[in-house]
Amino acid sequence: VDLSTKVAGLSLPNLLFNASGVCCQTEADLKLMIESESGSLITKSATYEYREGNPSPRYLPLPSGLGSINSMGLPNEGYEYYLNFAKNYDYSSKKPLFISLSGLSLADNVKMCEAFVAADLPCVLEVNFSCPNVPGKPQLGYDMEAMENALNVLAPLIKKPFGVKLPPYFDIAHFDTAAAIFNKFDNLVYVTCINSVGNGLAIDFETESALIKPKDGFGGLGGLMVLNTALANVNAFYRRLPTKQVIGVGGVTSGKEVFLHVLAGASAVQIGTTLKEEGPTVFARINKELTDIMIAKGYKSLDEFRGKVKTL
Ligand code: RRO
């Protein structure tokens, strides 16, 4: 059974990697990703300057395997740290490197993209249009005009193939409008669906208190509870972006959910909450589970079932 895939023209030995934000802020985190059985890795979303992020507690798993809530607030080492990591990365290794950028303004995204373009590295840039947790900064992906304006500036500047990280959409009109925008940009070659489901509220029954401290307890939801929203977004964009690729993320706890993401149309699949809870050995486990599913179903490669979800 062959779990290999291609994203943005680069070959991945298997389709799994980390969701940006998990196990990827520091060089120590990224080393764990390199040593794991992931097929690739992506860095924590970078801002122009170092950020401490929101006060703790700012991430918690939710009871009974439902998922997680986070309001990290974009803690990161500043883009120069990730640029330096990208400059020193061993591109002869089998794992392609993705770099996530999440400027607090379009001007900051421009400055960061310019620096990466000047360095001319074989990593892939992914612009995050969907951080739900920075007070006073709405998710760009929910402002279609602002998103198109950002792409009008960034796509020609980046020139090479790049991707965007999207928030979940919940309305067919929004899938249509967003897809029509993305289809205007030839070098936007993939979309990653989905970021966390923004601004959920987790309350502890016993203490009657919010679980996390920032934003009165509001934070992005991830894990099993977002699986069906993730699958819908993957499939909606798979159907609407025939010349582009989709990276699926959301609700993966086992090989079964990875299989569903590929059926929905994912070319690669990222793991967030389950990676955070289980650690980087999750990749070996889930690669094995997916292999067993493919053997049982008689599939030899991902191409044989990618996007082939049946409808009634
Ligand atoms: O750092 C965060 O709070 C964060 C980011 Br940038 C993001 O894109 N998604 C998320 O759930 N948390």
- Is residue 47 within 6 Å of ligand 1 at its C-beta? no
Residue 112 confidence (pLDDT): 98
3-state secondary structure of 97: strand
Q: What percent of the chain has pLDDT over 90?
A: 98
Q: Which of 74, 126, 127, 139 to mutate to test the pocket of ligand 1 (most atoms within 8 A of CB)?
A: 74
- Is residue 45 within 6 Å of ligand 1 at its C-beta? yes
Residue 231 confidence (pLDDT): 99
How many domains, in total, are found in the chain?
1
Going 64 to 67 to 70 to 76, the CA torsion angle's sign is: positive
- pLDDT confidence bin for 235, thresholds 50/70/90: very high
Find all residues with CB under 8 Å of 4, minimum gap 6, and list them: 11, 12, 13, 14, 15, 39, 301, 302
- pLDDT confidence bin for 263, thresholds 50/70/90: very high
67, part of any domain: no
179, part of any domain: yes
Catalytic residue among 23, 24, 113, 131: 131
- Is residue 12 within 6 Å of ligand 1 at its C-beta? no
Longest dimension (CA), the chain: 54
Q: What is the pLDDT of residues 133-181, one digit of tens each?
A: 998 889 999 999 999 999 999 999 999 999 999 999 999 999 999 999 9
Residue 135 confidence (pLDDT): 87
Q: What distance in angstroms lies between residue 195's CA and the mean position of ligand 1's atoms? A: 8
pLDDT of residue 38 exceeding 90, the answer is: yes
- pLDDT confidence bin for 5, thresholds 50/70/90: very high
Contact 276, 20 (CB under 8 A): no
Q: What percent of the chain has pLDDT over 70?
A: 100
Examine the predicted complex and report whether its ipTM is higher than 0.90: yes
d(CA 121, CA 88): 10
Q: Name the more confident of 136 and 99.
A: 99
- Is residue 217 within 6 Å of ligand 1 at its C-beta? no
216, part of any domain: no
Does 131 qualify as catalytic in the annotation? yes
3-state secondary structure of 248: strand
Q: What is the pLDDT of residues 12-32, one digit of tens each?
A: 999 999 999 999 999 999 999
Contact 162, 9 (CB under 8 A): no
Give the residue, by CA position, lying nearest to ligand 1 atom 7: 131
81, part of any domain: yes
65, part of any domain: no
Phi and psi (nearest 5°) for 16? -95, 140
Question: How far is residue 101 from each of residues 61, 77, 237, 253, measured CA to CA in Å?
Answer: 25, 12, 21, 26
Q: What distance in angstroms lies between residue 123's CA and the mean position of ligand 1's atoms? A: 21
Residue ranges with strand state E in 150-244: 162-166, 188-193, 197-201, 218-222
Find all residues with CB under 8 Å of 134, minimum gap 6, and list them: 73, 74, 104
289, part of any domain: yes
- State which ligand 1 atom lies nearest to the alpha carbon of 198: 11
Q: Identify the domain containing residue 265 by its residue range.
A: 5-53+73-198+224-304
Give the residue, by CA position, lying nearest to ligand 1 atom 8: 131
Q: What distance in angstroms lies between residue 92's CA and the mean position of ligand 1's atoms? A: 30
d(CA 25, CA 213): 21
Q: Please, what is the Cα angle at 204 between 199 and 206, to 5 degrees?
A: 165
- State which ligand 1 atom lies nearest to the alpha carbon of 102: 6
The mean pLDDT of 218-247, rounded to a whole number, is: 99
The mean pLDDT of 114-136, rounded to a whole number, is: 96
Mean pLDDT of the chain, nearest integer: 98
Q: What distance in angstroms lies between residue 72's CA and the mean position of ligand 1's atoms? A: 6
3-state secondary structure of 169: coil
- CATH code for the domain in which residue 138 is found: 3.20.20.70
